[in-house]
Amino acid sequence: MRHDKVMWIVWPAFLAACVLELVVFAVVDPSELHLQGWPRQAVYTAAFFAFWAVCAGASGLTALLGTPPSEVNRSA
């Protein structure tokens, strides 16, 4: 996969994860989650990377579905 296409997937996923993190933690306090003594910053970090992974998966699927069949079926 080309590097520019990877950036088309990762950058919007990063921005979406930022917004999702802001929205979720405006409503939820990490200390109320009862995550076996995890520090608050660790919860923020783990949640951000989880949000980023889910958003990257969605962006990747969108990029795959938007790719012409001739490019997908091309043999390497």
Reply yes or no on whether the pLDDT at 13 is more than 80.
yes
- Residue 72 has a pLDDT of 77
- Residue 57 has a pLDDT of 96
- pLDDT band per the 50, 70, 90 thresholds, residue 16: very high
Where along the chain do its domains lie? 3-65
- Residue 4 has a pLDDT of 79
With helix as H, strand as E and coil as C, how does the chain read? CCHHHHHHHHHHHHHHHHHHHHHHHHHCCHHHCCCCCCCHHHHHHHHHHHHHHHHHHHHHHHHHHCCCHHHHCCCC
Handedness of CA 12, 17, 20, 21 (dihedral sign): negative
Reply yes or no on whether the pLDDT at 3 is more than 80.
no
What percent of the chain shows pLDDT beyond 70? 96
